[in-house]
Structure 1
C-alpha cells in the first residue's frame, strides 16, 4: 500500500477516509441533519461534555458531516486541526471572539477584502486596536509592533488589486516575536499555496470560493497548522488548559466562538463543499491558465490603462508569486481608459456574469468602486488604489477563446 505522505494532492483528498468504513459502504460521508445525539448512558453524556470522551454534544458545536469536511480541509492545508463555520467572515470573526480581549493589538494588511476591512473597523470601536499597513514590505509591520500585539493578519493575494504580502519574512518575524500569524488563503486556496510553509499559525479559507467552486454554498474554515506554541499565548482560559497545549487555541475558539456565537456550518453545506473540493486541482489549474491568458490579452489592449495580475512580469510581486504559488491565481482586475464607461463595458459582456462571488466555475465580473468597496468612501478607495473604473474578474473554466473574444469584443465596440 502506498504511503499517504507520498500521494498527490487530489488523490489524498479523494481517499482521505478510505480506511474508515462509512455506513452502508457509502463513498461519501452522508448528511446528518440531526441536532441532538443519543448517548449510551448518563455517564457517557457527561464524559463527552467534559471532554473525556470523543463525541457530539449539539448540532451547533459539531456534526459528523461537518467533521468529515474539517478533516479534509486539515489534510488540504497540511494542518493539525480545523473548525468549519457558516461563512469565511465567521471564521475570521471567530479568531477575535475566541482569542482576543480589550486592548489587544492587531496589525493587518491595508489591502484587505472589503468586508474584512469593515469588520476590523467595528472591532476597533470595541476596544481592540488595529493598525493597517502595507504588508508587502516587512518594515511597515515592524514599526507597528507593541507589547500588546497578538496577531498579524494578511491575505495571500489581496482582493481586488492582487498585492502580495511579504509572506515568508512576516512568518519569521511572528515566530521571533511570539505573535499569532493569520493568513487568509482564500484567493490562492490550499491547492496553489499552503501558508504553513511560511510559518502561518492559523489559516482562513472562505470555502464558498475555489474550494467549493460551484457558487452554491456558503462556508468558511479556520485551520491550526500546529506551528504556534499555545503555552506562550496569554489569553488562554484555565478551563482549556486541561487538554494538551497543542489544542488550547482550537478548543477555545470552538467553545468561545463557534459554540457561544453559533455561526455553525450546516450539514448540507458541508456535504456540498466536500464534494466540490474533490475537483479543486482540476478547476484551479484551468481557471488560473485562463486568467493568465486574459491578463496578457488585456495588458496589450489600448483601451485598458492598467492590469493587476501576479502572473504579469510587470506586477511588483511577480517574482514572489512565481516562487511561492503553484499558479498565479484566478483573480485579476483592470482599469479602463477614460473614454470607456465602466457600466457600459460590463453590459456588453455576453459570457462573463456580473456578480460578486469569487472562485466560481463561471467567469464573474464586478465594478469594484461602486459595489463591494462603495461603503468605505472615495477617499479610502483612492488610498487603496481603487479607481472608479476598476473591474475585478474571477476567471472561470470556460473555453479560453470564448473568454478572450468576449472581453475583446466589448472593448472594441
Structure 2
C-alpha cells in the first residue's frame, strides 16, 4: 500500500495498474481464449517463461487480475487469487495445500459450510481438530508434528465469537504453521489480518467487499509472512521463481485451474465497483448495528445479544484492540423462544433470507435453517440455541430500523 488512504487506493487502483483506451474502470473481458503472435509465446505461456499473459479464462483474465490486485492492496499482501464463491476459495485452499495424513486445526465456531468441509477432509485422510479458538491455548493443546494449518474466522457466524487472533498468530509462527484467517465479516476496511500474523487471508467477496447482494465471489490473499520454502506440500513444479509466490502459484494451478471455480468477468466487475464504497458502507452498517444491539440488549423481551462492540461480549476488549468497528453481524435470543417466528414475521424492514453483507437488512432464525443440517450436537458446541436469530444489518436509516424493531417487540 502507498501512503494514500484506504479508499483512495481502491478508487484509483484500476488507473494505477493501467486500463485500456483510457477507461476509468477496468473493462469486462469476457473472452475465453487469448491468442498469441507466435507459437513460441504460446509455449512460453504454458511453461511459465512468458509473464503477464493469459491463456484460458478459467485461470484468470485481465478483469480478475485487476480485482486481485485491488484486494492485495486492501489486505497489504503479496498477491491474491479470486474464485467464483467464498466456498470455492476455501475448498481451493484446503484441497491444494493439505494432503492425506496432514492435520488441520479449525475453530469450532466456523461458518456451517466450512464446518461441513471438515467432514469431507476427514474422508480424504486429513485429520481435523475443532477447538475453541477464542483461547490460543486450546489450539496449542492439539498441535502435533503433522499439523500443517490453523483456520479461524475473525468474527464467528452467527455467535460472533472472536478468536484469539494475536495469540494464535504467535503460536503458528512458533510452529511454522500456515495461519488462515477468514476476514469476511469485518473486511480489510475494519481489520487487517496481517497485523496478527496471518499467512493467508480469505474473503467471501460476496459479503462486505461487494456488498450489494448482486455478485458471488471469493479470494485468498498471501500476506507474505509465511516461508513457503519450509512447507512440505508445495509440488516440485511450483518450487521456482519468487518463493513468496509458491503458495499462491499452487493454489492458482491446482485449486483454480484444476477445480474450475472461476470468478466470472461480470461478477468481478460488480465486486470491483462495490469495493469502492466498502469503507462508507462498513461505517454506516457498523453504526446502525451497534445502536440496534444496544437497544435489543436493554429490552426486557430479549435474553441475550451477541455483538463484539457491546461491553457484555466475552471478547469485547479483544474487539476494541483489533477492530476499528464491529461490522454488520449480530445475533440475539428472545426470552420466549416460542415467539421467535411470530416476531420475525412482525418485522417489516428486514428481508427474511439467508446471506450476509447486503445493502438490505437480512434476518433468519438460525437453528431450523442454515445450521439445521449440522445437527443438535454441533449447534450446542457452537452455542447456537434453538431461539437464536441472526441479523445482517444493511444501509437503512438507523432510526427506521430501531422503529421497526420497537413495533415488532411491542
Contact 1:137 1:165 in 2 (8 A): yes
Contact 2:337 2:387 in 1 (8 A): no
**In the alignment, which residue of structure 2 is the partner of 1:15?**
12
Which residue among 356, 359, 364 is the counterpart of 2:357? 359
Query: Normalised by the size of structure 1, how large is the TM-score?
Result: 0.98
**In the alignment, which residue of structure 1 is the partner of 2:80?**
82
Partner Cα distance (1:40, 1:353) in 2: 52
**In the alignment, which residue of structure 1 is the partner of 2:287?**
289
1:64 is displaced (CA, Å) by 0.6
Which residue among 238, 258, 261 is the counterpart of 1:260? 258
**1:44-123 → structure 2 map (5 Å cutoff):** 44-54=41-51, 55-123=53-121
**In the alignment, which residue of structure 2 is the partner of 1:326?**
324
Which residue among 174, 181, 185 is the counterpart of 1:187? 185
SS at match of 1:341: helix
Partner Cα distance (1:287, 1:261) in 2: 35
Number of residue pairs matched by the alignment: 409
Contact 1:203 1:223 in 2 (8 A): yes
Which residue among 27, 30, 39 is the counterpart of 1:30? 27
Contact 1:331 1:394 in 2 (8 A): yes
Query: Normalised by the size of structure 2, how large is the TM-score?
Result: 0.98
1:122 is displaced (CA, Å) by 1.4
Unaligned runs of 5+ in 2: none
Partner Cα distance (2:31, 2:96) in 1: 26
**1:359-378 → structure 2 map (5 Å cutoff):** 359-378=357-376
SS at match of 1:101: coil
Question: Cα–Cα, structure 1 residues 21 and 195, in superposed 2: closer, same or farther, change >3 Å?
Answer: closer
**In the alignment, which residue of structure 2 is the partner of 1:204?**
202
Question: Cα–Cα, structure 1 residues 320 and 144, in superposed 2: closer, same or farther, change >3 Å?
Answer: same
Which residue among 231, 246, 258 is the counterpart of 1:233? 231
Moved over 2 A (4+): 17-21
Partner Cα distance (1:348, 1:193) in 2: 35
**In the alignment, which residue of structure 1 is the partner of 2:248?**
250
1:245 is displaced (CA, Å) by 1.3
**In the alignment, which residue of structure 2 is the partner of 1:401?**
399
Which residue among 370, 383, 386 is the counterpart of 1:385? 383
SS at match of 1:249: helix
**In the alignment, which residue of structure 2 is the partner of 1:308?**
306
1:340 is displaced (CA, Å) by 4.8
Contact 1:303 1:340 in 2 (8 A): no
Contact 1:35 1:58 in 2 (8 A): yes
Contact 2:154 2:182 in 1 (8 A): yes
SS at match of 1:60: helix
Partner Cα distance (1:242, 1:296) in 2: 53
Partner Cα distance (2:141, 2:248) in 1: 30
Encode CA deviations 1:159-188: one digit per residue, 9 max, x unaligned: 001000000011111011000000000011
Which residue among 144, 165, 168 is the counterpart of 2:163? 165
Contact 2:204 2:219 in 1 (8 A): yes
SS at match of 1:83: strand
- CA-atom RMSD, angstroms? 1.0
**In the alignment, which residue of structure 1 is the partner of 2:2?**
5
